[in-house]
Amino acid sequence: MQDKIQLKARELGEKLKKLSLTLATAESCTGGGIAYWITSVPGSSLWFDRGFVTYTNLAKQELIGVNLNTLDKYGAVSQETAIEMANGALLNSKADVAIATTGIAGPDGGSKDKPVGTVWIAFAQKNKKTCAVKKVFSGNRDNIRMLAIDYALSFTSTSPEGFSS
């Protein structure tokens, strides 16, 4: 899976370079994994601005401006929080586009409404509507995190809904 993820990071970089866009990440459950794979690509400094690892609610508030009311009302693992994270990454960087992840990688922390494996992945681009996708991955903690990274990179590098100029 690692070769597949690195290829997707490379494809994302090629797309961003072609469109003259730069990227920021805001990661919770993936713990900087997206930024890791992006920076494994030679020349990524041309299209990757920065990554925020905002594992706690306080970090989400302090570093990328997630609203306390959002966290209280919807929780850290929600569409609303993921969208605020992606928008906050844009507002607190020089990037044109952003990816954000928030979820429950396990093995604990899940509930009936938000089982282990629930991950929200948000995509933001300046002057465009931010969108978020909910996925429920299965497997152990490492597998869930890798699947979330893989999905985020896949969506942005290949789908028509991904970033555009």
Tell me: pLDDT of 23 over 80. yes
Task: Give φ, ψ of 19 to 5 degrees.
Answer: -90, 0
Instruction: Tell me whether residue 130 is in a domain.
Output: yes
Instruction: Tell me whether residue 164 is in a domain.
Output: no
Instruction: Tell me whether residue 54 is in a domain.
Output: yes
Per the structure, how many domains does the chain have?
1
CA 49 from centre of chain: 14
How much is the average pLDDT of 108-119?
95
CATH of the domain at 20: 3.90.950.20
pLDDT reported for residue 158: 53
How much is the average pLDDT of 134-160?
88
Q: Are 153 and 8 in contact (CB under 8 A)?
A: yes
pLDDT reported for residue 152: 96
pLDDT reported for residue 157: 58
Instruction: Tell me whether residue 15 is in a domain.
Output: yes
Q: Are 126 and 92 in contact (CB under 8 A)?
A: no
Instruction: Tell me whether residue 165 is in a domain.
Output: no
What span, in angstroms and rounded, lies between the C-alpha atoms of 148 and 165?
25
Instruction: Tell me whether residue 11 is in a domain.
Output: yes
Segments forming the whole domain that contains residue 31: 2-158
What's the chain's average pLDDT? 94
* pTM for this prediction: 0.95
What span, in angstroms and rounded, lies between the C-alpha atoms of 144 and 109?
14
Instruction: Tell me whether residue 141 is in a domain.
Output: yes
Q: Other C-beta atoms within 10 Å of 106: how many?
A: 21
Instruction: Tell me whether residue 113 is in a domain.
Output: yes
Model confidence over 137-148: pLDDT tens digits?
999 999 999 999
Q: Is 51 helix (H, G, I), strand (E, B) or coil?
A: strand
